[in-house]
């Protein structure tokens, strides 16, 4: 088999990954925990090309060059090295969500690419091995291999993989805030945080504690504790980022208004908590039975989507090839 197609979904972290210990091996400074979504998948086909002299990459039917192609080609180099198969490949990928939503597309993208490439180049398809490989493409992709809820341990090259963790069923209410293109990539902003933010060390220490508390709260099925840890951890990440020199601010005025509304809903007895990645979109979490009411209460701020815990990365039949 020299062609393979895989599908993977984005994930949103409840305890965030923000900072690398080793940027070649892509080892994170701290562990993290996330929920894989059940919508906005990426489907990717990798087709080995025995006669080609370079890799090619198409996204949504458009030929991609420059930096995104370079990242894909470097990832394929790793797989060529491991498999001993030197052939280049044609990679065709499609993000099925609204691409403008800016929702963790590097996580679903590199997770789908890791699985499809493993299959096409004859590598192991064990989830831990695919997760370890996906990590080299983008840190958050490590977790998108795993269905529902995942913990990604900091670890070393061997142990820094994501594993499934049981957590109480919940929903994510994604509020897509319209904003300008993000100015600073997560990769760049992580480096700047480590180099210039006076809160960087505090971020690391509190995130290590937050992950251990989160694992306990998940085991206890304690949604309230999960929610509190989630919102506090997100605010601390944004505080550390905002304190960079020069400062970086991902949250828009609209994002802050959503966090205020989430708090007001809580004060009124509807239990929901917020988080946000490196952009202006806000994601609220709630128990399944409250999700529609939370979505309704947040609809005035932008397009709202309710997501349940979703599947891990999967291989698809040839008929679904891109």
Positions that interact with ligand DP6 (CB under 6 A): 13, 16-18, 26, 32, 106, 138-140, 186-187, 277-278
As measured in angstroms, the least distance from the Cβ of 250 to ligand DP6 is 8
Are 73 and 39 a contacting pair, CB within 8 Å?
A: no
Q: Tell me whether residue 118 or residue 138 sits nearer to ligand DP6 (CB atom).
A: 138
Residue nearest to ligand DP6 (CB): 139
As measured in angstroms, the least distance from the Cβ of 17 to ligand DP6 is 4
Q: Exposure of 62 by Cβ count < 10 A (0-12 exposed, 13-18 middle, 19+ buried)?
A: exposed
Residue 74: CB atoms within 10 Å: 12
Q: Tell me whether residue 26 or residue 265 sits nearer to ligand DP6 (CB atom).
A: 26
Q: Exposure of 248 by Cβ count < 10 A (0-12 exposed, 13-18 middle, 19+ buried)?
A: buried
As measured in angstroms, the least distance from the Cβ of 104 to ligand DP6 is 6
Q: Please give the full DSSP string across 209-277, using - where no structure is assigned.
A: HHHHHHHHHHHHT-HHHHHHHHHHHHHHHHHHHHTSSS------HHHHHHHHHHHHHHHTT--EEEE--
As measured in angstroms, the least distance from the Cβ of 16 to ligand DP6 is 4
Edge-to-edge, what's the strand order for the sheet holding 282-286?
A: 272-275, 282-286, 171-176, 303-307
Q: Tell me whether residue 44 or residue 106 sits nearer to ligand DP6 (CB atom).
A: 106
| SS3 state at 95 | strand
Q: Tell me whether residue 188 or residue 245 sits nearer to ligand DP6 (CB atom).
A: 188
Q: Tell me whether residue 48 or residue 236 sits nearer to ligand DP6 (CB atom).
A: 236
C-alpha 198/C-alpha 175 separation (Å) is 30
As measured in angstroms, the least distance from the Cβ of 115 to ligand DP6 is 17
For 314: left if phi > 0, alpha if psi spans -120 to 50, otherwise beta; the answer is beta
Please enumerate in sequence order all residues whose Cβ is within 8 A of that of 71, keeping only pairs 6 or more positions apart, or say none.
Answer: 137
Q: Tell me whether residue 309 or residue 316 sits nearer to ligand DP6 (CB atom).
A: 309
Please enumerate in sequence order all residues whose Cβ is within 8 A of that of 238, keeping only pairs 6 or more positions apart, or say none.
Answer: 250, 251, 276
Q: Tell me whether residue 10 or residue 127 sits nearer to ligand DP6 (CB atom).
A: 10
As measured in angstroms, the least distance from the Cβ of 45 to ligand DP6 is 22
Residue 188 corresponds to which tokens in the numbers above? 């760049």
As measured in angstroms, the least distance from the Cβ of 300 to ligand DP6 is 25
C-alpha 35/C-alpha 12 separation (Å) is 6
Q: Tell me whether residue 56 or residue 233 sits nearer to ligand DP6 (CB atom).
A: 233
As measured in angstroms, the least distance from the Cβ of 11 to ligand DP6 is 7
C-alpha 304/C-alpha 138 separation (Å) is 26
């Amino acid at each position: 088999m020299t062609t393979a197609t895989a599908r993977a979904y984005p994930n949103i972290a409840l305890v965030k990954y923000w900072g690398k210990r080793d940027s070649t091996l892509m080892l994170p400074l701290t562990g993290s925990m996330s929920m894989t979504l059940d919508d906005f998948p990426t489907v990717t086909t990798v087709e080995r090309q025995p006669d080609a002299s370079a890799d090619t990459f198409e996204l949504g039917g458009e030929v991609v060059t420059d930096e995104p192609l370079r990242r894909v080609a470097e990832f394929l180099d790793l797989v060529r090295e491991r498999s001993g198969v030197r052939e280049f490949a044609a990679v065709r990928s499609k993000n099925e969500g609204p691409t403008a939503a800016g929702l963790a597309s590097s996580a679903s993208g590199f997770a789908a690419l890791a699985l499809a490439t493993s299959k096409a180049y004859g590598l192991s398809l064990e989830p831990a091995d695919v997760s370890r490989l996906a990590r080299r493409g983008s840190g958050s992709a490590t977790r998108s291999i795993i269905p529902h809820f995942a913990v990604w341990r900091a670890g070393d090259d061997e142990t820094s993989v994501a594993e499934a963790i049981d957590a109480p069923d919940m929903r994510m209410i994604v509020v897509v805030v319209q904003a300008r293109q993000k100015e600073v990539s997560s990769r760049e902003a992580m480096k700047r945080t480590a180099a210039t933010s006076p809160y960087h060390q505090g971020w690391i220490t509190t995130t290590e504690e937050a992950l251990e508390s989160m694992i306990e709260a998940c085991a206890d099925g304690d949604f309230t504790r999960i929610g509190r840890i989630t919102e506090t951890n997100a605010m601390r990440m944004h505080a550390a980022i905002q304190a960079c020199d020069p400062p970086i601010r991902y949250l828009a005025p609209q994002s802050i208004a959503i966090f205020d509304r989430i708090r007001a809903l809580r004060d009124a007895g509807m239990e929901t908590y917020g988080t946000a990645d490196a952009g202006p979109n806000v994601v609220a979490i709630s128990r399944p039975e409250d999700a529609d009411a939370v979505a309704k209460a947040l609809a005035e701020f932008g397009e709202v989507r309710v997501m349940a815990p979703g599947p891990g990365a999967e291989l698809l039949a040839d008929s679904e090839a891109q």
